[in-house]
C-alpha cells in the first residue's frame, strides 16, 4: 500500500498486488478509474458521503478498498509541530497529545517525518457490508488496546467512540452562488 | 525565467503586468480553489488573455480542485472554451483533468498544481508521462529536491517564492472538512490551521506557519534552473500584489545585473513583511522549519493602513497629481511614492485639494478623488504609502 505516485513507476515490475491509498485525492469514479490503469486497486477517500461511495462502488471497473474503521488522518505536516510547540512553551516534548477546538477532538502524533492530526473519534462506515465491488475493508487499529481490537474483529463497538465523519452530509465549498 | 503573479479579479490584471509580472494565474468561477474569491467570468478571462498577449505575457487558469463526481458536468465544455480563448496553460491536480486535456488534444499546457505535492523525480515523471509540461512543486521542496527533480526530468519547475503557507502538505488536509464541512480541496478551506487548539491546562497549541519569502535564495534558484517564481495571493489587494511583484522584479533584475547589495536585500525584505502584516521566512528550502518558522498563541495582528492612494493622472506643468484615496492621510504626513518606472521617493504632504480643487487638510473618505502637489514626476498607477522605512542611500 502506498500513496506517492512515484512508487507506481518504481514498483511497476514488482509482481505483488499494488494498492494506491489516494486518501483525499480518490474522490471520484472517473479519477479512481484512471488510477486503476496503473495499480490493482485503490482506496476510496474518506471525504465522501454515503451516496458518493455507493455511486463509485456500483460503477467501478475493478473492486476497491473501503476505509471502514479507524481514526481518520486529517492533516499531514512535514513540520514537527509538537516539538516546536514544546520548545516555545518550554515544556517536555510530547510525541502524542489530544487536543480540541470546542467539541471537536484530535489525536496528534509526531515522528521524524512530521506531524499527523487524526480525528478524535473512530470513523465507522456502518454500510460497509452493503456495497458491491469491495476488494477489502480497511481497518486502522491505531491507539486501540488489544481488547478493543478483539471487539472490533467481533463487530462489537459498544465501548468504542465511533462517528460517521462526512458520510451523512456532502461537503460544500461555495458560500454563495454568483449572480 | 518567469515572475508569476496571482490575480483574483479582472481589475488586478493591469496592476500585475504593470508592476513587473511576466505571467499571471487566476481562477474561473468554477473548478478553482479559492472558491470564494471574486474570480473571473469567461469574458473576463478572455479580456485578461487579450491584455496579456498584447504585452507578450501569459495567462494560466487554475482548474485545480479535486473533483467529486457531481463536479464533472460542464468540465469538458469549460476546457474547450479556455482553449478557444487562448489561455496559455491550466493548473490542475486531478488526473481526470490532466487526462481529458490530452484526450481532447487541447492546445494549452498543463501545469501540475502544488496540490499534487510532488517532491521526487519519480512522481514528477509519472505526471510527465501524462503530458504535464510544468510541475508546481510542493512547498516542502528543499533545495536538494528541486535540483534532483530538475536534473532527472528536465521539466519546467515552478516554485513558490512568496506568500501564505499551508501547515499541511497541500491537498492532504481536511481539517476544514472536519470542523466546518467546508471542502478544502474544492476551494472552501476555512483555514483551521490558523485557529488555536486547546490542550487542557496548558498553553494552546498553534500550528500557524509564518509566510514564505525566498529573498535570500532567488539567485540560487535562478542558478538551479527554476523556470517560474510564483507569488501566492489570489485574494490579496492591489497594494500587496504591486508591492510584492515590484520587490521581486527589482531583486531578480539586480541579481541578473549583479548589482544587488545586502542593504537593498534587507530593505526589500522589510517592505515585504510590512505589506503582508506577517513575518516571513524561507521555510523548507534550506532546512526543516522549526520554532522560528511558526506563530504561537498570543500573537496580535493589527492591519496596517499603509496604502494611501493610487495615482490616476500627473500634470507635469503644475506637478499636481490626481489620486484615488485608499486610506486616511493628511497635510503634514510623510509619504512615499513607488512604481515600476518611478524611483521610490518620499515627501511631506503640503498641498491637498478635493475633487473640485478646493484646499483641504485631510483625505478621509474611502476612494475619494484628491489632488496633491508632488515634488517629482510620478506615473499612472503609481502608489502612495505611509513612510515606514528610510529609503536606501
pLDDT tens figures, A54-102: 999 999 999 999 999 999 999 999 999 999 999 998 988 888 999 999 9
Q: Which residue of A has its CA nearest to B208?
A: A81
Asked whether the beta carbons of residue A77 and residue B188 sit closer than 8 angstroms, the reply is no
Provide mean pLDDT across the span B185-209.
Answer: 89
Asked whether the beta carbons of residue B67 and residue A76 sit closer than 8 angstroms, the reply is no
Of the partner residues B35, B172, B193, the one whose CB lies closest to the CB of residue A23? B172
Identify whether the C-beta of residue B277 lies closer than 8 Å to the C-beta of residue B304: yes
pLDDT of residue A177: 52
Asked whether the beta carbons of residue B182 and residue A171 sit closer than 8 angstroms, the reply is yes
Q: How many angstroms away from the CA of A46 is the closest CA of chain B?
A: 10
**Residue B276: pLDDT band with limits 50, 70, 90:** confident
Q: Which CATH superfamily is domain B2-165+209-293 in?
A: Aldolase class I (3.20.20.70)
The DSSP call for residue B375 is S
pLDDT of residue B300: 65
Asked whether the beta carbons of residue A173 and residue B122 sit closer than 8 angstroms, the reply is no
**Residue B331: pLDDT band with limits 50, 70, 90:** very high
CB-CB neighbors (< 8 A) of A94 in chain B: none
Q: How many angstroms away from the CA of B90 is the closest CA of chain A?
A: 18
Give CATH for domain B307-386: 2.40.30.10
**Which ipTM value was assigned to this complex?**
0.93
**Integer Cα distance of B113 and B109 in angstroms:** 12
The DSSP call for residue A106 is E
Provide mean pLDDT across the span A107-117.
Answer: 95
**Integer Cα distance of B46 and B277 in angstroms:** 33
Domain boundaries, chain A: 1-71+122-168, 72-120
Give the three-state DSSP class for A128. Answer: helix
Q: In chain A, what percentage of residues exceed pLDDT 70?
A: 97
Provide mean pLDDT across the span B324-340.
Answer: 97
pLDDT of residue A25: 86
Asked whether the beta carbons of residue B126 and residue A8 sit closer than 8 angstroms, the reply is yes
Domain boundaries, chain B: 2-165+209-293, 307-386
Asked whether the beta carbons of residue B167 and residue A79 sit closer than 8 angstroms, the reply is yes
Position A179 pLDDT exceeds 60? no
What part of A 60-89 touches B (C-beta under 8 Å)? Answer: 72, 74-85, 87-89
Asked whether the beta carbons of residue B36 and residue A76 sit closer than 8 angstroms, the reply is no
What part of A 16-45 touches B (C-beta under 8 Å)? Answer: 23-25, 27-31, 34-35
Asked whether the beta carbons of residue B192 and residue A101 sit closer than 8 angstroms, the reply is yes
The phi and psi torsions of B163 (rounded to 5 degrees) equal 125, -170
What part of A 83-142 touches B (C-beta under 8 Å)? Answer: 83-85, 87-89, 91, 97-101, 104, 106, 108, 117, 119
Q: Which residue of A has its CA nearest to B66?
A: A25
Pair type for strands A114-119 and A104-111: antiparallel
Closest CA to B249 of B215, B225, B285: B215
Question: How many A×B Cβ pairs under 8 Å?
Answer: 179
**Residue B282: pLDDT band with limits 50, 70, 90:** very high
Provide mean pLDDT across the span B362-381.
Answer: 96
The DSSP call for residue A173 is -
Asked whether the beta carbons of residue A173 and residue B174 sit closer than 8 angstroms, the reply is no
pLDDT of residue B40: 94
CB-CB neighbors (< 8 A) of B34 in chain A: none
Provide mean pLDDT across the span B218-231.
Answer: 96
Question: Is A178 in the B-facing interface, judged by CB distances under 8 Å?
Answer: yes
Q: Which residue of A has its CA nearest to B165?
A: A77
Dihedral, CA of residue B367, residue B371, residue B373 and residue B377, to nearest 10: 70
**Integer Cα distance of B96 and A141 in angstroms:** 33
**Residue B298: pLDDT band with limits 50, 70, 90:** low
Dihedral, CA of residue A110, residue A116, residue A122 and residue A128, to nearest 10: -130
Asked whether the beta carbons of residue A76 and residue B288 sit closer than 8 angstroms, the reply is no
Position A158 pLDDT exceeds 60? yes
CB-CB neighbors (< 8 A) of B169 in chain A: 76-78
Asked whether the beta carbons of residue A31 and residue B175 sit closer than 8 angstroms, the reply is no
Question: Which three three-digit cell numbers place residue B312?
Answer: 490616476
Q: In chain A, what percentage of residues exceed pLDDT 90?
A: 87
Q: Which residue of B has its CA nearest to A103?
A: B179
Amino acid at each position: 500500500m502506498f500513496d506517492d505516485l512515484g512508487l507506481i513507476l518504481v514498483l511497476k515490475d514488482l509482481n505483488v498486488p499494488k494498492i494506491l491509498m489516494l486518501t483525499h485525492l480518490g474522490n471520484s469514479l472517473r479519477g479512481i478509474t484512471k488510477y486503476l490503469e496503473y495499480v490493482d486497486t485503490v482506496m476510496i477517500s474518506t471525504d465522501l458521503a454515503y451516496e458518493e461511495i455507493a455511486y463509485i462502488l456500483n460503477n467501478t471497473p475493478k473492486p476497491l478498498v473501503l476505509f471502514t474503521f479507524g481514526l481518520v488522518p486529517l492533516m499531514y505536516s512535514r513540520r514537527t509541530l509538537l516539538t516546536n510547540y514544546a520548545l516555545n512553551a518550554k515544556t517536555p516534548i510530547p510525541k502524542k497529545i489530544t487536543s480540541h477546538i470546542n467539541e471537536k477532538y484530535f489525536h496528534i502524533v509526531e515522528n521524524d517525518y512530521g506531524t499527523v492530526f487524526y480525528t478524535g473519534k473512530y470513523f465507522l462506515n456502518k454500510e460497509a457490508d452493503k456495497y458491491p465491488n469491495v476488494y477489502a475493508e480497511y481497518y486502522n487499529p491505531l491507539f486501540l488496546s488489544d481488547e478493543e481490537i478483539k471487539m472490533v474483529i467481533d463487530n462489537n463497538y459498544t465501548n468504542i467512540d465511533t462517528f460517521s465523519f462526512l458520510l451523512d452530509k456532502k461537503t460544500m465549498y461555495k458560500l454563495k452562488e454568483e449572480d | 525565467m518567469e515572475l508569476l503573479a496571482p490575480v483574483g479579479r479582472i481589475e488586478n490584471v493591469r496592476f500585475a503586468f504593470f508592476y513587473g509580472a511576466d505571467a499571471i494565474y487566476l481562477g474561473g468561477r468554477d473548478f478553482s480553489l479559492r472558491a470564494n474569491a471574486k474570480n473571473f467570468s469567461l469574458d473576463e478571462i478572455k479580456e485578461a488573455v487579450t491584455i496579456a498577449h498584447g504585452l507578450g505575457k501569459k495567462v494560466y487558469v487554475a482548474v485545480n480542485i479535486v473533483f467529486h463526481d457531481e463536479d464533472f458536468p460542464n468540465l469538458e465544455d469549460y476546457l474547450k472554451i479556455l482553449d478557444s480563448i487562448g489561455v496559455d496553460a491550466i493548473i490542475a491536480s486531478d488526473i481526470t483533468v490532466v487526462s481529458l486535456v490530452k484526450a481532447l488534444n487541447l492546445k494549452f499546457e498543463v501545469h501540475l498544481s502544488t496540490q499534487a505535492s510532488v517532491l521526487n523525480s519519480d512522481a514528477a515523471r509519472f505526471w510527465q508521462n501524462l503530458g504535464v509540461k510544468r510541475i508546481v512543486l510542493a512547498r516542502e521542496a528543499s533545495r536538494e529536491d528541486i535540483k534532483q527533480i530538475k536534473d532527472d526530468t528536465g521539466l519546467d519547475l515552478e516554485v513558490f517564492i512568496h506568500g501564505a503557507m499551508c501547515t499541511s502538505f497541500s491537498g492532504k488536509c481536511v481539517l476544514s472538512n472536519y470542523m466546518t464541512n467546508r471542502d478544502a480541496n474544492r476551494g472552501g478551506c476555512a483555514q483551521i490551521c490558523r485557529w488555536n487548539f486547546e490542550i487542557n491546562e496548558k498553553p494552546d497549541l498553534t500550528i500557524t506557519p509564518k509566510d514564505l519569502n525566498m529573498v535570500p535564495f532567488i539567485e540560487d534558484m535562478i542558478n538551479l534552473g527554476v523556470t517560474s517564481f510564483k507569488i501566492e495571493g489570489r485574494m490579496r489587494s492591489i497594494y500587496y500584489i504591486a508591492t510584492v511583484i515590484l520587490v521581486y522584479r527589482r531583486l531578480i533584475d539586480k541579481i541578473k545585473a549583479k548589482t544587488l547589495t545586502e542593504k537593498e536585500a534587507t530593505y526589500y525584505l522589510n517592505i515585504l513583511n510590512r505589506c503582508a502584516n506577517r513575518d516571513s521566512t524561507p521555510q523548507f528550502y534550506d532546512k526543516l522549519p522549526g520554532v522560528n518558522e511558526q506563530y504561537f498563541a498570543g500573537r496580535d495582528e493589527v492591519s496596517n493602513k499603509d496604502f494611501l492612494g493610487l495615482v490616476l493622472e500627473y500634470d507635469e506643468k503644475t506637478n499636481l497629481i490626481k489620486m484615488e484615496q485608499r486610506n486616511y492621510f493628511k497635510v503634514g504626513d510623510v509619504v512615499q511614492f513607488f512604481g515600476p518606472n518611478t524611483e521610490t521617493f518620499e515627501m511631506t504632504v503640503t498641498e491637498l485639494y478635493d475633487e473640485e480643487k478646493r484646499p483641504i487638510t485631510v483625505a478621509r473618505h474611502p476612494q475619494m478623488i484628491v489632488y496633491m502637489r508632488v515634488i517629482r514626476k510620478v506615473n499612472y498607477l503609481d502608489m502612495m504609502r505611509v513612510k515606514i522605512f528610510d529609503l536606501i542611500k
